[in-house]
Amino acid sequence: MKKIVVAIDSFKGCASSATLAEAVEEAVKEIIPACHVCKIPIADGGEGTVDALIQALQGERVSCRVEDPLRRPIEATYGWVKATRLAVIEMAAASGLPLLRPEERDVMRTSTRGVGQLITDAIHRGARHFLLGIGGSATNDAGTGMLRALGFRFLDKKGQEVPDGGAYLSEITDIDTTHILPELAECTFEVATDVSNPFYGPEGAAAVFAPQKGATPAQVPILDDGLRAFSTLVRKKNGIDLQQVPGSGAAGGLGGGCAVFLHARLASGIGIIRRLLHFDEQLAGADLVITGEGKVDAQTSRGKVVSGVIEAAQAAQVPVVILTGNCAEPSGWEASVPLFAIHPAPVSLEEAMDRQYTLRQTKRVVRSLLLLLERNPKEA
């Protein structure tokens, strides 16, 4: 083999995409010293997206002061690629559920304002293209908090500003856009999400996701009514039916808010990132693709990194294998793609999550795989 492409998602809480790729490269060089290893840090729009893209695109991580979901000051970071004026933002950095203790989860009041503050900081830095990863939200405010930070005003029937939070969406009767940042007209937005839920209703943002963010059974219908009312107002003022926008219910309706007011394109994160990284073109001349993620299960085939890499590899007619730490559940790939668990025997969760153990076992599996393929080249 002359060229191997490595595109492994991070093993969450254990090892980054880049670190895993380095471990694979070390193993390859031990068995096939002359082989070119093309390492592509990769993610799907969720955790690890900023790190993957700034490394691949020679960007940097920048920090700024924003407000957390309960509007307390925190430091948050995002990715900045000056050459292409691209900002890569994980909304969870400012408005994510992990920022709150369990007893603080109050989806009636939580706000996405911090996301808008990250966007504002990036705009002032010169960004004109944005990739927003919107997984892991603590909010159900339809993105109104984010939009407030960008100059939008949400008014009640008396012309007064409505407070932040999902509990107040039904009070909004007008949207004032006279003070929005003028630079927004020059900006393009892409939103990475693997959620296709509608804005409201039984499969909507409130019914499906709000309980995970602290909503009680009594609060869910209030939040859903607020989303319905906001959708009606948007349809009246903007002529867009949020309920018909796939993924509008993502991140408590943030997906819908981005689609309407930022004219964002909502799409599979791995699809967007494949394009940004020119991933498919990098498969030219490859003899093997190695991909993987911490846990391969039924979700893997639904817009995750592994599914996108396999799709590209199969289109290019390049053999592909999957590495994982856990494959206890069916993934849908077993019949067509070789899958290798890195653990040789049952191990404790603590050991499985140990970074050095994971990297050591990854190298062991890759060495064994390459020894097999080199001895049986027709299988490669």
Q: Are 185 and 216 in the same domain?
A: yes
Q: Are 375 and 231 in the same domain?
A: no
pLDDT digits (tens, 9 = 90+) for 185-211: 999 999 998 788 999 999 999 999 999
How many structural domains compose the chain? 2
Rounded-to-integer distance, Cα 368 and Cα 210, Å: 46
Q: Are 257 and 339 in the same domain?
A: no
User: What burial letters (b/e) apply to 204-227, b meaning 16+ CB within 10 Å?
Assistant: bbbbbbbeebbbeeebbebbbebb
Residue 274 lies in a domain: no
Q: The pTM is what?
A: 0.88
pLDDT digits (tens, 9 = 90+) for 41-51: 988 888 888 98
Instruction: Count CA atoms within 13 Å of residue 34 on its CB side.
Output: 2
Q: Which domain holds residue 352?
A: 3-42+288-379
Residue 56 lies in a domain: yes
Which of 43-57, 139-153, 204-218 has the lowest average pLDDT? Answer: 43-57
Q: Are 99 and 212 in the same domain?
A: yes
Rounded-to-integer distance, Cα 207 and Cα 199, Å: 10
* Average pLDDT across the chain, whole number: 92
Residue 136 lies in a domain: yes
Residue 315's CATH number: 3.40.50.10350
Confidence of residue 64 (pLDDT cuts 50, 70, 90): very high
Judged against a pLDDT cut of 60, whether residue 377 lies above it is answered with no
Residue 13 lies in a domain: yes
Tokens 């039984």, residue located: 202
Judged against a pLDDT cut of 70, whether residue 28 lies above it is answered with yes
Rounded-to-integer distance, Cα 226 and Cα 139, Å: 13
Q: Which of 269, 300, 323 is the last residue of a domain?
A: 269
- What does residue 367 show for φ and ψ, rounded to 5 degrees? -60, -45
Residue 345 lies in a domain: yes
Q: Are 205 and 250 in the same domain?
A: yes
Q: Are 246 and 302 in the same domain?
A: no
Residue 85's CATH number: 3.90.1510.10
Confidence of residue 63 (pLDDT cuts 50, 70, 90): very high
Q: Are 29 and 132 in the same domain?
A: no
Tokens 């909507």, residue located: 204
| Residue-level pLDDT at 380 | 46
Confidence of residue 368 (pLDDT cuts 50, 70, 90): very high
Q: Are 194 and 216 in the same domain?
A: yes
Residue 282 lies in a domain: no
Judged against a pLDDT cut of 90, whether residue 348 lies above it is answered with no
pLDDT digits (tens, 9 = 90+) for 356-365: 999 999 999 9
Judged against a pLDDT cut of 60, whether residue 284 lies above it is answered with yes
Residue 7 lies in a domain: yes
| Residue-level pLDDT at 135 | 87
Rounded-to-integer distance, Cα 165 and Cα 140, Å: 7
pLDDT digits (tens, 9 = 90+) for 300-346: 766 788 999 999 999 999 999 999 988 766 666 667 899 998 988 77
Q: Are 241 and 310 in the same domain?
A: no
Q: Are 103 and 37 in the same domain?
A: no
Q: Which of 221, 241, 269 is the last residue of a domain?
A: 269
Q: Are 163 and 229 in the same domain?
A: yes
Q: Which of 269, 304, 323 is the last residue of a domain?
A: 269
The backbone region for 292, taken as left when phi is positive above 0, alpha when psi lies in -120 to 50, beta otherwise, is left
Residue 279 lies in a domain: no
Q: Are 199 and 335 in the same domain?
A: no
Q: Which residue has the higher pLDDT, 98 or 376?
A: 98
